[in-house]
A and B are shown apart, each in its own frame.
Chain A
C-alpha cells in the first residue's frame, strides 16, 4: 500500500533546480551560490554543522525565505518569481506563490499544528479551503492518512493532547493530504524526545519507500545512511560535497566533511 497518490507529473526532468542561490540576513551571508538539483523520486538528505545554511536552503525551496539572487525552479516553474513582459525577473503575487506552495509539503521542526482545530481538521482544512475539494472526500482521505501514520484513534483529539512524536506524524499527514509532488522536512526529529524519534522516522521511511521525492535536513545519520539516495553536505553557506551516503560516509572528499562526520558519528 502506498503512502500517497502520485500527482500527475506536469513535466519530466528534475523536480527541483536551484541555481546560484544566494541569501543574506542583513550583513550575514547565509547561502553562497548554492546549486542543487533533485530528481523525481529521489531522497536527498542535507547534513552539515549548525549554521551551515541547511534550514535556510530548505526554506527557500517553498518560498518561506525569499532569495537575494539566483533561481529556483520547482516542476520546471520559477518559484516565487516570474519573468515579466520586459523579460525581467519580478516577484510573483501572493496568490500565485500560494498555488506553487500547495504542491510542496513542508514539515517543521516544531510541528506547527493548528491548536484551534481537531487533529482531523488540521489534515483536511487546506484540502477543502485551498484546493476546494469536497469536504467528505477530504475528510475520508484525512482519516486514511491518519491511519497510515498510526493515529486513527486520534482523529477528534486536540493537538495539544498529543505527544511530540504524534504531533509530528499528524504534521506529516497534513502535508501529504495536499498530495504534494515534493516533501521538505526541516529537522523533523530534532525537537522530539529520543524515544519518539523512531516512530517519526518509520513514517518517513515508508514514504521514501513509496517513492515520494523528499529533501530532508537531518542529524539522524543512521536514518540517512539507510534511506538517502544522496547526501548533500553543507558548510558555511555552500554545498561542499554530495554523493551516495555510502560514499560520503566512507570516503569523504572534503576535510570539513571528515571533521563533521567524525563529530556526529563519534
Chain B
C-alpha cells in the first residue's frame, strides 16, 4: 500500500487555510441551516395541527414531497434548475461586508427546506408526547391555547425533542458534503480539489473523514450537555454518558429508563 504518512499528518495537524475555510463554511452552513430549519419545522408542525384545513393540507403535502425526494435533487432544482428556467437566480450578496455566494445561499435554503420536513415530524411527535391532561389543566386555569402551548406544552416537549433533533443535526453536518455538487467550497469540495492537484486521494479523504468525525463527536458532547441541563431542570436523572453514546455501549437499565423511543426517520 502506498500511503504518504508525512503528508497525512501534515494535512491533519496543520491543514491549509483553504481547508480550514472549507471546515468553517461547513460549520456555518450547518448551524444556520439547522436554526432556520427548526423555525420552519415548528411552523409546519403547527400548521399540521391546525384546525384550518388548507394549513393541514399544505403541511402534509410539504412533508410528503420533501421527504419523498433526495436532497441532492432538491439542491440542483433550487440552484441550477430555477436559474436555468429563468425563475430565480441566487446572486452573491454583501452582508455586513462579507460576500455570501449565491451557491451558499442556495445550500442553506436547500438544507433548511429538506431538514424542516423531518424536524416538523420530530416537533409533532414531541408535542404529542406531552400528556393531554397538561393542556387541559392549563386551559382550566384560564390560559389560552396559545399560552398553554408556549408555557406548558413546549417546555415539556423540548426535552423529548432534543435527542432526535440532535440526530438530525448530526446528519445535516454530514449532508453538507453533497453541497460540492452545486459548487459550494465546503470541506469536502476543498478536499476533492486538493486530491485532484496532489493525487494523494486516500490520504486527503481520510483526513476529511476524520474532520467530519471530529465535528459529529464535538456535537455529541454538546448534545449530551443540553440533555443533561434539561433533565436537571425537569428533575430527572442525567442522560447516559458521552462515551456510552459514542461507542454504542448502552446498558440494559439505561435503555429502559431513557426517554421514549422517538426515532426520527433516517436522514437521507
Contact = CB atoms under 8 A, between A and B. Distances in A.
A64 B234 contact: no
B194 to A, nearest CB: 49
A265 interface: no
Main SS at interface, chain B = helix
Given A102-B142, A112-B134, A129 B235 contact: no
B176 interface: no
Nearest to B136: A64
Interface string A80-94: 000000000000001
B114 interface: no
B256 interface: no
Contact of B133 (A101, A105, A110, A116): A110
Interface string B160-171: 000000000000
A203 B55 CA distance: 46
B141 A126 contact: yes
Interface stretch (B104-112, B117-125, B145-153): B145-153
Contacts of A110: 133
B233 interface: yes
B140 A62 contact: yes
A191 to B, nearest CB: 11
Contacts of A131: 142
Contact of A108 (B133, B142, B143, B152): B133
A94 B141 CA distance: 13
A125 B137 CA distance: 12
Interface string A124-164: 01100111000000000000000000000000001011000
Contacts of B137: 106, 108, 112-114, 171
Contact of A130 (B136, B147, B155, B234): B147
B151 A161 contact: no
Contacts of B147: 98, 129-130
Contact of B151 (A103, A105, A106, A125): A125
Chain B interface size, under 10 / 10 to 19 / 20 to 34 / 35 or more: 20 to 34
B122 to A, nearest CB: 19
Nearest to A101: B142
Given A114-B134, A129-B147, A178 B235 contact: no
Given A112-B131, A114-B137, A178 B156 contact: no
Contacts of A7: none
A62 B136 CA distance: 10
Contacts of B141: 101-102, 125-126, 130, 174-175, 178
A116 B144 contact: no
A76 B137 CA distance: 24
A115 B152 CA distance: 9
Interface of A: 62-64, 94-95, 98-99, 101-106, 108, 110, 112-116, 125-126, 129-131, 158, 160-161, 171, 174-175, 178
Interface of B: 131, 133-134, 136-147, 151-152, 155-156, 233-235
Instruction: Please name the 5 residue pairs, one residue from A and one from B, whose CB atoms are nearest each other, closest first.
Output: A102-B142, A112-B137, A106-B140, A126-B141, A158-B235
Given A98-B142, A108-B140, A114-B152, 11 more contacts: A62-B140, A106-B140, A112-B134, A112-B136, A112-B137, A116-B234, A125-B141, A158-B235, A160-B235, A174-B141, A178-B141
